[in-house]
Amino acid sequence: MIAAMKYYIWTEGCQMNVTDSQRVSSALESLGYASTLKPEEASVIVLNTCVVRQSAENKAYGRLNSLAPLKKANPDLVINLMGCLVGIRTSDKLRDRFPYVDVFSPPSDPGPLLAYLTQDDVRQKMLEETRQRNAWMDEDLPLPEAEHGRLVAAHIPIVLGCSHACTYCIIPYRRGVERSRPAADILKEARSLVRQGVKEITLLGQIVDRYGLDDPSLPNLTGLLKQLNEIDGLERIRFLTSHPNWMTDELLEAVASLDKVCPHIEVPIQAGDDEVLANMKRGYTAEQYRRLVEKLRAVIPDVSIATDIIVGFPGETADQFQHTYDLLADLKMDVAHLARYSPREGTVSARRMPDDVPAEEKMRRFRLLEDLQEKIAAEIHARYQGQTVPVLFEDKVKSRWRGRTTTNKLVFVESEADLRGKVVPVQITWTGPWSMQSRLQD
């Protein structure tokens, strides 16, 4: 028996998708729906999808196929397919393949689902007009009920879409051209989140450093950070993902000087070989990236840096991969997000570059970098041994509270006290490559 007015959301992919799902949850709850963890209990099911990698796309198709029996058993069940699998223009092929899907929603756009559920012509017109401006975002929407007063760290999209068009990336085709949200909306949303108990916000954008560059009426990212830094009750501010070409000296100085902006930068390299970088259309060389990392470490005290690397890009030779390995070994980044290349239909690399690195070789290269980064991370974390650091605690896992340092290090502490949403100084007692353990100060 399907319970009326319940919704279930499945989310795959990046933090932007997580934030989009939170917005859908809030919108559904404003219509009287309650969340459920069991899809068979729901009257509305939302699949928020990702297609950045083939594995994520395969998961989405698997989930869609698993819903067919539920729809057959309950024809009134509303199924909403959302996100990058849908893209900014829904494919007829997708509609034909999954005829039991009721609503197809572009990324960051709960409008079609809400219009379907309300069947309100006036609302439909409003949503269509808003969608033409390439953003459906209501900064007044509260957090989902389950997260109200419990969510410590939240994400705010500030740049939607992307216009850079790296040859391997599907995002511009699925999320559309780059466009910045109004600063007033972002600030209003941040204040609303703080009123609901959020202590840390992370600003999101495919190239977050380009905030405001598409609209001369808006501040740039530095200006936005300065305004956010003035919000009472907000403890920490982060932003991601950066691009080497758009990290200005002004931005680095802002990170160093603004007390709420965390000294943690996520700036992908993707490859350590210049020819591979050119084939990816990244727009910089390995040497330019090395100089950027040097500058980051010189300007921002104790900065932690995360990077992304793709192995097995079309044409990548063993020597070219070695250049990537050597760069990672030299720079000793705090975090390296690793991925094996998989062609995404419609991208330049999929159309023009043969996927000629065997799967076994991709995995071998992946494992080499994985092992190297594990050793690097362990060495970096070992420097924290015995130090006292402030940690913002977010939630409790069994008997231990889990939180993060300003440099985004994961820290656990055992305590019977309620530490949720509090910045507490702790002494590090154990370190490993992925997390650290601590004790409260006496």
Q: How far is CA 171 from CA 75, 87, 248, 307, 399, in A?
A: 33, 9, 24, 18, 40
**Cβ count near 235 (within 10 Å):** 21
Q: Closest by alpha carbon to 267, among 335, 325, 314, 201?
A: 335
pLDDT digits (tens, 9 = 90+) for 153-171: 999 999 998 998 899 998 8
Cβ–Cβ < 8 Å for 163, 172:
yes
CATH architecture of 6-132: 3-Layer(aba) Sandwich (3.40)
CA 261 – CA 229 distance, rounded (Å): 7
pLDDT of residue 337: 93
Rounded distance between C-alpha atoms, residue 386 and residue 427, angstroms = 6
3-class SS at 150? coil
pTM: 0.80
What CATH number does the domain located at 388-440 have? Answer: 2.40.50.140
CB 280 within 8 A of CB 167: yes
CB contact at 8 A, 390 and 425: yes
Spans in the chain with pLDDT lower than 50: 1-3, 121-139
Residue matched to tokens 């949720």: 420
Question: What is the reported pLDDT for 106?
Answer: 83
- Name the phi and psi angles at 33, rounded to 5: -85, 150
What pLDDT sits at residue 137? 44
CA 122 – CA 92 distance, rounded (Å): 27
Same fold, 6-132 and 263-380: no
Report the pLDDT value the prediction gives residue 148, as an integer from 0 to 100: 63
* Residue reference for tokens 């410590």: 152
Domain boundaries, the chain: 6-132, 149-261, 263-380, 388-440
Query: In angstroms, rounded to a whole number, what is the distance separating the alpha carbons of residues 87 and 170?
Result: 10
Q: Assign domain 263-380 to a CATH class.
A: alpha beta
Q: What is the C-alpha to C-alpha distance for residues 32 and 72, in angstroms, rounded to an integer?
A: 25
Architecture of the domain delimited by 149-261: 2-Layer Sandwich (3.30)
Note the pLDDT of residue 149: 66
